[in-house]
Chain A
Amino acid sequence: MAKYLLLKHYRGAPAAVNDVPMDQWTPEEISAHVQYMHDFAARLEQTGEFVDGQALAPEGTFVRYDGEGRPPVTDGPFAETKDLIAGWMVIDVDSYERAIELAGELSAAPGAGGKPIHEWLEVRPFLAAPPTITQ
């Protein structure tokens, strides 16, 4: 049993097969896409594998400590940042193979023309709790 993050990128992942920006889809295609994402999450809840799913606004702010007694420094957003996270889903599954299978299904969400987007999702394992028996 292990948790995996399925990471969806706005930018930074290799180009999807059906790589048409969302604002050029038809409204029905957008609805179908959103419905697919909802159904996918609901199905994972049914199988007892869903942990969390969130979407992120595309623009963020960089923040850092600027020394004692001073407010944090903010910067950005940087338009040139290569990697941009769009959102994630966290799953709790029995095997790496299952995580890959589910990521493949999520990547099949319909896009332009009602065809699967075939977008690249990044699968990252969580660092687990240390086992008790190691010797």
Chain B
Amino acid sequence: MNEALLRSLTPSVLAVLVRRGADFAAAEDAVQDALLEAVRVWPATPSPSSSSRERPMRDAKGWLVTVAWRKFLDATRADAARRRREDLFDEEPAPGPAPAVDDTLQLYFLCAHPSLTPSSAIALTLRAVGGLTTRQIAQAYLVPEATMAQRISRAKRTVAGVRFDQPGDVATVLRVLYLVFNEGYSGDVDLAAEAIRLTRQLAAQVDHPEVAGLLALMLLHHARRAARTAPDGSLVPLAEQDRDRWDTESIAEGVAILQAALARDRLGEFQAQAAVAALHADAPTAEEADWVQIVEWYDELTRLTDSPVVRLNRAVAVGEADGPRAGLAALAALDDSLPRHAAVAAYLHERDGDLATAARLYAEAAHRAPNLAERDHLTRQAARLNAGRCR
């Protein structure tokens, strides 16, 4: 049983049902049921090359559409009977190949609809587009399954009135996929890989440089995954990562996608962020990175987003390009209540040789760290400087 294939078919099967007139919420449940049925009845395929065993999956999509449609009708009939109404769905559409029109893109828009909160949009996207089960999504976000089930059905109710054929905004979809990639726990479901898969699938549906930009950004960061944590689970900062452990294939793909996107001259924030990541990927060591160009990309990002987080990152880059004093000057213009402000200040002071101030700021940054891995890392930095000074 090829779960990846099954899951990749999820959105187009769902889209067929909706196009046939099924309402989105019921259709989505029916597709989930069909996926479970497929897992149950399809034989396990030990390897993708075992052609004879793959035969039942030759028209996997057609099979899923048929089963999902039947489940939809069953559920609708049962529902109708419960409500003591006449059967409304006696007519099955003529069996035949699934229509060539692919509404997968519409599903992305629906699941990231602006009326949904970010957490609802994420949950709905992972289920309806990604084909993950409610249990898997609940485990990935460390909430009870019942809570996640409610979050998803509430999200479905929220978008129940949205017309399926309405054009949506790619930017909202990208925001959701970015969050899936960037803010997942590391559980059984690999959310980063899932985000890449969904973004890749989206890129196949819509020709948009920012979709390419996000895909490139994800690939370039995903490439560093093995080097990002030490065996004990602690964070390894970019400058100290073993660059031999970066995934060169993923980097090459990310760079190629980014270059093609940039050539179209429609810059957006994801392309600019990916450009920064690409410049890091290109450097044999952190010091040898083209920091002047990185600062220029942060200037572009500031222009595009005016985000304080970008200005903070820019101060770090200025510190590398023009020296720590210049970095501290750039930092002085920023609100010191920003997340990670103290961490950046500590780093720049250390580079500037003011170890006492750096140690104090690392400790302060640790106190304000938004996650455990960063807190431990910053505490270790403070301890390292304090131990050095006492010697």
- On A, residues with C-beta under 8 Å from B are 1, 3, 44-52, 92-94, 125, 127-133, 135
Residue among A49, A51, A133 with most chain B CB within 10 A: A133
Q: Which residues of A contact B221 (CB under 8 A)?
A: 132-133
Given A45-B150, A48-B152, CB of A130 within 8 Å of CB of B373 = yes
Determine whether the beta carbon of B150 is less than 8 Å from that of A46.
Answer: yes
Q: Which residues of A contact B141 (CB under 8 A)?
A: 1, 92
* Bound: A49/B280 CA distance, A: 39
* Bound: A29/B117 CA distance, A: 36
Determine whether the beta carbon of B142 is less than 8 Å from that of A1.
Answer: no
Q: Can you name 9 A-B residue pairings with CB atoms under 8 Å?
A: A45-B147, A48-B150, A127-B372, A129-B184, A129-B186, A130-B373, A131-B182, A131-B371, A135-B313
A-B pairs with beta carbons under 8 A, tally: 88
The segment out of B37-45, B118-126, B252-260 that lies at the interface is B118-126
Which residue in A92, A130, A135 is a CB contact (below 8 Å) of B235?
Answer: A130
Contact with A along B263-278 (1 / 0, CB 8 A): 0000000000100110
> Is B204 at the interface (CB under 8 A from chain A)?
no
Determine whether the beta carbon of A51 is less than 8 Å from that of B143.
Answer: yes
Q: Which residues of A contact B152 (CB under 8 A)?
A: 48
**Within the complex, what minimum Cβ distance (angstroms) separates B300 from chain A?**
15
Determine whether the beta carbon of A129 is less than 8 Å from that of B371.
Answer: yes
Q: Which residues of A contact B148 (CB under 8 A)?
A: 48
Q: Which of B121-143 contact A (CB under 8 A)?
A: 122-123, 141-143
**Within the complex, what minimum Cβ distance (angstroms) separates B181 from chain A?**
6
- On B, residues with C-beta under 8 Å from A are 117-120, 122-123, 141-144, 146-148, 150-152, 154, 179, 181-186, 192, 217, 221-222, 225, 228, 235, 238, 273, 276-277, 280, 313, 369-375
Given A1-B183, A48-B120, A132-B181, CB of A127 within 8 Å of CB of B143 = no
Which residue in B179, B238, B375 is a CB contact (below 8 Å) of A135?
Answer: B238
Which residue in B117, B150, B184, B372 is a CB contact (below 8 Å) of A94?
Answer: B117
With CB as the reference atom, state the residue of chain B lying closest to A98: B117
Determine whether the beta carbon of B119 is less than 8 Å from that of A133.
Answer: no
Determine whether the beta carbon of B150 is less than 8 Å from that of A127.
Answer: no
Determine whether the beta carbon of A127 is less than 8 Å from that of B277.
Answer: no
* Bound: A1/B370 CA distance, A: 13
Which residue in B147, B217, B373 is a CB contact (below 8 Å) of A133?
Answer: B217
Determine whether the beta carbon of B118 is less than 8 Å from that of A94.
Answer: yes
Determine whether the beta carbon of A133 is less than 8 Å from that of B151.
Answer: no
* Bound: A52/B143 CA distance, A: 8
Q: Which residues of B contact A3 (CB under 8 A)?
A: 142
Q: Which residues of A contact B118 (CB under 8 A)?
A: 1, 94
* Bound: A47/B238 CA distance, A: 39
* Bound: A93/B152 CA distance, A: 14
With CB as the reference atom, state the residue of chain B lying closest to A125: B370
**Within the complex, what minimum Cβ distance (angstroms) separates B290 from chain A?**
14
Q: Which residues of A contact B142 (CB under 8 A)?
A: 3, 51, 92
* Bound: A127/B225 CA distance, A: 21
Residue among B186, B221, B370, B375 with most chain A CB within 10 A: B370
**Within the complex, what minimum Cβ distance (angstroms) separates A118 from chain B?**
28
